[in-house]
Structure 1
Amino acid sequence: MCGRLLPHLATLLLLSWGVSAYNRKMVEILQLEVPESPQAGQDVTLTCRFRLHGQNHRLYTVNWWRGKDQFYTYKGTNYDPKHAYTFRGIQVKTDESTEESVVLRNVSEETSGVFKCEVMGEGPSFRTAVATKPMQVVVPPSSVVITSNLLRDPPHYSPGERIHLNCTASGAKPRAHITWDINGTPVRIRETTKIPDFEDHDGRVTSTVSLTFDAPNYFNQNNMAQVACHAQVAGHTKTDSRDLFLHPASSAAYNHQYASAGCQLSTTWTILSMASLLLSRAIP
């Protein structure tokens, strides 16, 4: 009786060991790196780091997808492991891609989507792990320009004159966030005005924000002020800057003050004072 049971027990032990070994095999994705907002025209690297658990557990395939499009496969058991497929906005640089990374050439707005890494261990278990991340390719402004209705170049202003400048960021997607600073210090919100955007048929947006203030505010002791406009799209920034100048002669007259009272001298009083000084020197 015992002799007849031994083969059955041995079979059960082997099956149990096989099931246990099967259960110990696992695929783990350690890290998925997909740039969140790359710039159009760049080459982009997607990385999927993984680990295979279990004795003699080897890689079967790594598959990359954008939505329903499978654009790259790495076959761990194949002498020719790399296979790439082209879709709109997807061009794989096969020579630079590996089992953990895939390089996309010259990404565009059409490259955007949800990217998936699928790692599968070899059979008979074919254990699989999946991870996904979105990527939105952005288009920074084609140009960022400060303009003025002042025809003088370089721009010179007189005290009391109102300064009006526009900053225009053209052709961004999504729209650019525009900020101003003067001499490196952000301006007050009440000195800026947002002008309605213009969006073209490709969804690219031209935005303008104006800056208005009165001279001699913001001008330094050298009668100069540097204005800068920054247009930011998802961490990518373009800047334009311009130096503004205050007329030295008018600035001196404007800022001349009584030493005690702190009052501004009138033009008439200034002329009379100079005439009195000249007369006193002429009389012996």
Structure 2
Amino acid sequence: RFLRSVPFSPQILFFSTRPVIAALRDVQVSVPPAVRRGDTATLHCYYDMDGESLYSVKWYKGRREFYRYTPKESPPMKIFPAQGVQVKRSASNESQLTLLGLSLASSGKYSCEVSADAPSFHTMIVTGDLEVCEVPKHVPSIHGMRSRYRVGDIVRGNCTSHNSRPPANLTWYINEAQANPSYIRTHKPFRERKNEFETSLAGIHFVVGNHHFVNGKLKIRCTARIHDIYLQSTERSIDEDRPRVISAASSANSNGKGANGNAVPYDHFPPYAENELDRKDYMTLQGELEHIAY
């Protein structure tokens, strides 16, 4: 056998010494999700130019540009009109934007657009949602409950939080623990006739058991919450209404009968009394709705 010779051919390898092209990256926006009406909000736009020069930062509400920062121009800051937007110049720059006197019209989507300078003019845009809230002027109110209950009685009550936007989320608690969902009667929030605000209503309905009373007390609380900017509660402390034992001697003195007389051992309500209490002194769910709506 003969070995076939392969002619040697030298290879030339080329190595690029050109640096990797820098590029804008990691653009992020920080927008507070909820703010009280009339308050100030600060929005942030974070970005990494990665060696490039900044050309401009623009802010939009929806599709409308209302703020532009161009460092190579003089002045670098420009502000354009937009509904519900009032910019605080002294607290705004290429990475921060401060809005004053927020109104309900200020709610919406806010976008930050960052552009690199020549030659790439690379552009990225990110968006965040801001909601301006009208919080209730008063704490939630509890209606329809008596001050005393016995084991076996039915507790019925309503919790109302008036005039907010969005409507408050209502939560019932019994002795510091969130109430069993089966006890709760939920109702759709309704809009007030005199304004654009809404009212929340939630009912509670359960049979009183021995375990509900702690040292003769039953505590029921209703909490109203709107995002993380509003939290108020109202609590009722209810006494246990235990039957009172009447001694035979007292009974004999009061009705003229002896120890073997026909004495009543417990001080009971008349059979009609509880219905009278509910009918005269306490609002039913329907009555509460009528009271609020009208």
In the alignment, the residues of structure 2 paired with residue 36 and residue 147 of structure 1 have an alpha-carbon distance, to the nearest angstrom, of 30
1:240 offset after TM fit, Å?
A: 2.4
Q: Secondary structure at the match of 2:35?
A: coil
In the alignment, the residues of structure 1 paired with residue 33 and residue 144 of structure 2 have an alpha-carbon distance, to the nearest angstrom, of 39
User: Counterpart in 1 of 2:27?
Assistant: 30
Contact kept, 8 Å, 1:138 with 1:234, in 2: the verdict is no
1:210 offset after TM fit, Å?
A: 1.7
Check if 1:220 corresponds to 2:214: yes
User: Counterpart in 1 of 2:177?
Assistant: 185
Superposition pairs of residues 55-70 of structure 1, within 5 angstroms: 57-70=52-65
In the alignment, the residues of structure 2 paired with residue 63 and residue 73 of structure 1 have an alpha-carbon distance, to the nearest angstrom, of 4
User: Counterpart in 1 of 2:67?
Assistant: 72
Contact kept, 8 Å, 2:158 with 2:204, in 1: the verdict is yes
**1:109 counterpart (95, 104, 107):** 104
User: Counterpart in 1 of 2:200?
Assistant: 207
Contact kept, 8 Å, 1:59 with 1:121, in 2: the verdict is yes
1:87 offset after TM fit, Å?
A: 1.9
Contact kept, 8 Å, 2:26 with 2:47, in 1: the verdict is yes
Contact kept, 8 Å, 1:141 with 1:238, in 2: the verdict is no
Q: Secondary structure at the match of 2:158?
A: strand
1:274 offset after TM fit, Å?
A: 7.7
How many residues matched? 236
Going from structure 1 to structure 2, the CA distance change for 1:186 and 1:34 (only over 3 Å counts) comes to same
In the alignment, the residues of structure 1 paired with residue 190 and residue 207 of structure 2 have an alpha-carbon distance, to the nearest angstrom, of 29
Q: Percent identity?
A: 24
Q: Secondary structure at the match of 2:24?
A: strand
Q: CA RMSD in A?
A: 3.2
Q: Secondary structure at the match of 1:26?
A: coil
Going from structure 1 to structure 2, the CA distance change for 1:125 and 1:148 (only over 3 Å counts) comes to closer
Amino acid at match of 2:222: C
Contact kept, 8 Å, 1:170 with 1:205, in 2: the verdict is yes
Check if 1:89 corresponds to 2:84: yes
User: Counterpart in 1 of 2:227?
Assistant: 234
TM-score under structure 1 length normalisation: 0.70
Going from structure 1 to structure 2, the CA distance change for 1:130 and 1:242 (only over 3 Å counts) comes to closer
1:62 offset after TM fit, Å?
A: 0.8
In the alignment, the residues of structure 2 paired with residue 272 and residue 129 of structure 1 have an alpha-carbon distance, to the nearest angstrom, of 89
- Structure 1: which 5+ runs fail to align? 1-15, 254-266, 280-284
Going from structure 1 to structure 2, the CA distance change for 1:80 and 1:211 (only over 3 Å counts) comes to same
In the alignment, the residues of structure 2 paired with residue 230 and residue 236 of structure 1 have an alpha-carbon distance, to the nearest angstrom, of 13
User: Counterpart in 2 of 1:39?
Assistant: 36
In the alignment, the residues of structure 2 paired with residue 63 and residue 30 of structure 1 have an alpha-carbon distance, to the nearest angstrom, of 13
User: Counterpart in 2 of 1:12?
Assistant: none
In the alignment, the residues of structure 2 paired with residue 84 and residue 145 of structure 1 have an alpha-carbon distance, to the nearest angstrom, of 41
1:101 offset after TM fit, Å?
A: 0.8
User: Counterpart in 2 of 1:132?
Assistant: 127
Check if 1:251 corresponds to 2:242: yes
Amino acid at match of 1:28: R
Larger helix proportion, structure 1 or 2?
A: 1
**1:168 counterpart (155, 160, 185):** 160
Write out per-residue CA displacement over residues 187-221 of structure 1, whole angstroms, 9 at most, x where no aligned residue. 12232222443213654321111223455752321
